[in-house]
Amino acid sequence: MSKAQEEFAQAAAKLIQQAVTMGYTVTLGEAWRTPQQAQWNAQHGTGIAHSLHTDRVAIDLDFFKDGVWVTDGSKLEDIGAWWEAQGVNYAWGGRFKHLPDGNHFSISPDGVIK
């Protein structure tokens, strides 16, 4: 898992740099999540119990365009598509069928998108 975490950390840095190149301002959201927090989120319909955040291979970022916070994740298609193009295990939360999350970016080390 440490190799996946290292890859993810480096990829997340590139993601932020790419977003800036695309005209976004970026601030950090949530990266690591405890299993207890993931369970709580699942129980309250705001996440899943087996989140990749608990494995430290996911991050939520906040994006701003022209000083305005982009709260509609579907408007982040450009940066989401860029992230997905980085590899087959790279997932953008804007495509999640259950609870779409346009601010979520992850790498699934086993190829299973959680």
pLDDT at 111: 61
pLDDT at 109: 76
pLDDT at 15: 98
Strands 24-28 and 68-69: unpaired
pLDDT at 8: 96
What percent of the chain stands above pLDDT 70?
96
Neighbours of 84 (CB within 10 A): 16
pLDDT at 44: 93
pLDDT at 45: 87
- pTM, entire model: 0.89
Which residues of the chain are under the pLDDT cut of 50? Answer: none
Domains and CATH numbers, the chain: 2-31+60-107 (3.30.1380.10)
**CA-to-CA distance for 106 and 114, rounded, in angstroms?**
9
pLDDT at 113: 57
| DSSP annotation string for 35-98 | HHHHHHHHHTTSS-TT-GGGGT-EEEEEEEETTEE---GGGGHHHHHHHHTT-TTEEEGGG-SS
